[in-house]
Chains A and B, each alone.
Chain A
Amino acid sequence: KAGVTQTPRYLIKTRGQQVTLSCSPISGHRSVSWYQQTPGQGLQFLFEYFSETQRNKGNFPGRFSGRQFSNSRSEMNVSTLELGDSALYLCASSLVGQEGNEQFFGPGTRLTVL
């Protein structure tokens, strides 16, 4: 069974630009969560999508948004990029009904904002 895939793996942008990251979950997984990982802040929860609906949202500004498609693939968008948005963005998928145990992470997208 293929794992979680994320594209692109690396991205360099400049301040003020916007970026879209993509995540394909494991087949059959309907929940997709996004995280921002930085050395200083660790893993911070961005949002979770389930059946094309945002189910939960972390404490991030409105510049961070996402969506999920009918095939469970998800995208996240960051508008008006700031230097502080440089981070590793991870997505993770999980099965429906598993209330807290296992998430499967993708390799991440390394975003650098110059």
Chain B
Amino acid sequence: GQSLEQPSEVTAVEGAIVQINCTYQTSGFYGLSWYQQHDGGAPTFLSYNALDGLEETGRFSSFLSRSDSYGYLLLQELQMKDSASYFCAVRNYGQNFVFGPGTRLSVLP
């Protein structure tokens, strides 16, 4: 089976940097994705790591280490609008998508 673990909640203040971790147990997958979901909204794609290392997209960066079965999403210069739930996800070699339980980020003024 496959499972992903994330912290359930993270709180930070505007302008700060926050890291949301994702650890996983899976036999094989193509890469690690991150999605953002605001309350009442649909998940939207943020980033994807096919290979180990850091991927940067504006204020967001994502990291993957297959040897450590670990990845993270880094959000810099936090803004109030970043308050949302963040999900890590993998697409395994059997082609199924598996999502983590989600981390609820609260950004305080």
Contacts and interface: CB of A to CB of B under 8 A. Distances in A.
Interface of A: 33, 35, 42-45, 48, 55-56, 58, 90, 92, 99-108
Nearest to A6: B42
A90 B42 contact: yes
Contacts of A105: 42-44
B102 interface: yes
Contacts, number: 62
- Chain B interface mostly: strand
Contacts of B42: 90, 105-108
- Chain A interface mostly: strand
Nearest to A107: B42
Interface residues of B, number: 24
Given A90-B42, A100-B29, A102-B45, A56 B94 contact: yes
A42 B45 contact: no
9 contacts: A42-B99, A43-B102, A44-B99, A45-B99, A48-B95, A90-B43, A105-B42, A106-B42, A107-B41
Interface of B: 29-31, 33, 41-45, 48, 50, 87, 89-91, 94-102
Given A43-B87, A56-B94, A103 B99 contact: no
A81 to B, nearest CB: 23
Contacts of B98: 45
Contacts of A44: 99
B104 to A, nearest CB: 11
Given A106-B42, A107-B42, A101 B96 contact: no
Contacts of A55: 95
A40 B42 CA distance: 17
